[in-house]
Amino acid sequence: MAARRTLAVVSAMVVVLALAGAAVMMLNVHGEEPLGDHASPVPASAELVARGAYLARVGNCAGCHTAQGGADYAGGRGISTPFGTVYAGNLTPDAATGIGAWSSGDFWRALHHGRSRDGRLLYPAFPYTSYTQVTREDSDAIYAYLRSLPAVPQARPAHALRFPYSTQATLAVWRALNFRPGQPAADPARSAEWNRGAYLVNGLGHCTSCHTPRNALGAERQALALGGGRVAGQGWYAPALDMPAEAGVAQWPLQDVVALLKTGVAPQGSVTGPMAEVVFRSTQHLTDPDARAMAVYLQALPQRSPAGAAVATPAATALQRGAKVYEQHCAQCHGDQGQGEPGAFPALAGNRAVLLADTTNLLRVVLQGGYLPATAGNPRPHGMPPFRQVLGDEEVAAVLSFVRNAWGNQAPGVDTIDAYRAREAR
């Protein structure tokens, strides 16, 4: 009797496991079309290679696939995520460690379906969720460019991911839940320029990777696309592109949006943190028509204006202390009325980056400083010193509380614990 029951239980478990296995295997290839012909096209023309080089910059492939001081596109840079560190692969045409053995079809499948040549699913730290919108033509051009690079033998370091994120089964389930292969989303009702902008922003540009909030599984929340998100694992906040109070550009003159993308500075603001890298490595190289198209698309995003909550003024003692710190360390550049110095140091009065509800970036900028990216349009940028060594947590919190509530600014104060957390995070 007992033996029969045991047999029934074991049988049931086997069936469940088999079903689960079959489901995962099915999910693993969910939505994929056959790869088709593996043959690579005839030797690429110089023109195709040049186009591919441009598109690789638009996609900022080097941002992840070139390590600090390393060979171009040879991979090895670690990308921190909430699930562990993912290492970018080698995109040079080395047969053993790069994409030397890949066909253009393999490359397209990686971009379009997130699957490597050997059949493994790729981690979505590689933004195939955006690149899936890239056309086969553009994919082939990037492939041709990468194949033209010098081959660098350099194996990708093993990913350092926690269980169960380290397994292909988890990836298969994740992908089934969060990914559908895409097509360039053409909207015939919109201008060609808008459509080009949409293609660049949502495809190669993969702006949503940072600017769209993510759910607990690390997937982009499509309903809040470009609505502002914490850059997972990096300790930055990518402000909303659809809110005038954050990083929305609907109200800006078009040429200012273009200037921000191409030079890193505009009269209304400048880029810091990960966006400085994006401008340095990617958007400064955009052709004028492409930069304009992106700007047109970004300006046309439906804008949100969240209801303003009543703001409690920070304690007077903190503000007084903050005012002293400001006078001693900040006023020389930012001015005694927070007016800044045009062309050199940003105004803090009315500066939306100063007033963001999420103070992550503000704390990072004060603690670690940084130069704006040096671009063709702004080759000798100014910068902010790193105050980590000079100011304690209380002083950092006090000066930020002061700056957020001086000269007409009004925003919640910054707590010492926030400054402490920001300091310890890096």
Partner 1 sequence: MTLGVLRFLRGALATALAGGLWGAVLAAPVPPVAASGDMAPRVRVCTLCHGKEGRATQEGYFPRIAGKPAGYLANQLLNFRDGRRSYAPMSHLIEHLTDDYLREMAAHFAALDLPYPPPPAPQAPPAVLERGRALVQQGDAARRIPACVQCHGAALTGVNPAIPGLLGLPRDYVNSQLGAWATGQRRAQAPDCMADIARRLTPADVGAVSAWLAAQPVAGHGQPAAVLPQAMPVRCGGVDGLPVAEGL
Applying CB under 8 A, the residues found at the interface with partner 1 are 67-69, 276-277, 279-280, 332-333, 341, 344-345, 368-374, 379-390, 426
Q: Secondary structure of 195-259 in the HEC alphabet?
A: HHHHHHHHHHCCCHHHHCCECCCCCECHHHCCCCEEECCCCEEECCCCCCCCCCCCCCCHHHHHH
**Crossing angle, helix 393-403 and helix 416-424, to 10 degrees?**
120
CA atoms within 13 A on the CB side of 61: 23
Q: How far apart are CA 371 and CA 277, in angstroms?
A: 11
Closest to partner 1 by CB, 69 or 308: 69
Q: How far is the CB of 340 from partner 1 (least distance, A)?
A: 12
Closest to partner 1 by CB, 44 or 363: 363
Q: How far is the CB of 328 from partner 1 (least distance, A)?
A: 12
Bond from prior residue into 164 cis (ω within 30 degrees of 0): yes
Closest to partner 1 by CB, 218 or 381: 381
Closest to partner 1 by CB, 92 or 378: 378
Question: In the structure encoding, which two tokens stand for residue 69, read together?
Answer: 């001081």
Q: How far apart are CA 413 and CA 307, in angstroms?
A: 19
Question: In the structure encoding, which two tokens stand for residue 272, read together?
Answer: 């810091």
Q: How far is the CB of 276 from partner 1 (least distance, A)?
A: 5
Q: How far apart are CA 188 and CA 322, in angstroms?
A: 54
Q: How far apart are CA 77 and CA 86, in angstroms?
A: 8
Q: How far is the CB of 178 from partner 1 (least distance, A)?
A: 31
Q: How far is the CB of 335 from partner 1 (least distance, A)?
A: 13
Closest to partner 1 by CB, 181 or 274: 274
Q: Secondary structure of 96-120 in the HEC alphabet?
A: CCCCCCCCHHHHHHHHHHCECCCCC
Query: 407, 323 in Cβ contact below 8 A?
Result: no
Q: How far is the CB of 372 from partner 1 (least distance, A)?
A: 8
Q: How far is the CB of 300 from partner 1 (least distance, A)?
A: 29
Closest to partner 1 by CB, 194 or 371: 371
Query: 130, 203 in Cβ contact below 8 A?
Result: yes
Closest to partner 1 by CB, 194 or 420: 420
Strand-pair partners of 80:
85
Q: How far apart are CA 345 and CA 348, in angstroms?
A: 9
SS3 378: strand
Neighbours of 225 (CB within 10 A): 18
The pair phi, psi for residue 67, each rounded to 5°, is -80, 160
Closest to partner 1 by CB, 267 or 383: 383
Q: How far apart are CA 220 and CA 214, in angstroms?
A: 4
* Strand pairing report for 229-231 and 236-238: antiparallel
Closest to partner 1 by CB, 66 or 209: 66
Closest to partner 1 by CB, 111 or 366: 366
Closest to partner 1 by CB, 131 or 387: 387
Query: 264, 244 in Cβ contact below 8 A?
Result: no
Q: How far is the CB of 371 from partner 1 (least distance, A)?
A: 6
Q: How far is the CB of 374 from partner 1 (least distance, A)?
A: 5
Q: How far is the CB of 134 from partner 1 (least distance, A)?
A: 26
Query: 362, 342 in Cβ contact below 8 A?
Result: no
Q: How far is the CB of 99 from partner 1 (least distance, A)?
A: 24
SS3 414: coil
